[in-house]
């Protein structure tokens, strides 16, 4: 259903983000998940499936987040599932 689709899940190493990433992968999407630490990102990607990659990105740092999204390139779906007061600004202000 989502073959040929690319999805990014910011905060995808646990909870709702991880569950969403698993379902996206099951539906055929290629999935990039982020977490704050390399270990959590790698563990999440291993749990999600072979079409997932994990990346250590502190989404509270706008420049690091922008650099990550530039490396990913074009994508079709974006899920932002940050927890713990991780907001970096109003959604409408993000490019």
pLDDT tens for 31-81 read 999 999 999 999 999 999 999 999 999 888 889 999 999 999 999 999 999
Of 11, 4, 57, residue with least CA distance to 27? 4
How high is the pLDDT of residue 43?
A: 97
Q: Is the pLDDT of residue 93 over 90?
A: no
CA distances to 33, 70, 90 from 53, in Å: 6, 15, 27
Q: What is the pLDDT of residues 1-34, one digit of tens each?
A: 899 999 999 999 999 999 999 999 999 999 999 9
Question: Quick one: DSSP state of residue 51?
Answer: T
How high is the pLDDT of residue 59?
A: 87
CA separation for the pair 24, 88 (Å, rounded): 25
Of 12, 30, 15, residue with least CA distance to 79? 12
How high is the pLDDT of residue 45?
A: 97
Q: What is the pLDDT of residues 25-36, one digit of tens each?
A: 999 999 999 999
């Amino acid at each position: 259903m989502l073959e040929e689709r690319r999805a990014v899940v910011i905060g995808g190493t646990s909870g709702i983000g991880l569950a969403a990433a698993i379902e996206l992968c099951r539906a055929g999407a290629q999935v990039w998940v982020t977490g704050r630490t390399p270990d959590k990102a790698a563990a999440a990607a291993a749990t999600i499936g072979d079409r997932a990659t994990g990346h250590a990105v502190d989404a509270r740092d706008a420049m690091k987040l922008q650099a990550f999204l530039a490396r990913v390139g074009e994508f079709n779906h974006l899920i932002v599932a940050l927890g713990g007061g991780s907001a970096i600004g109003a959604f409408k202000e993000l490019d």
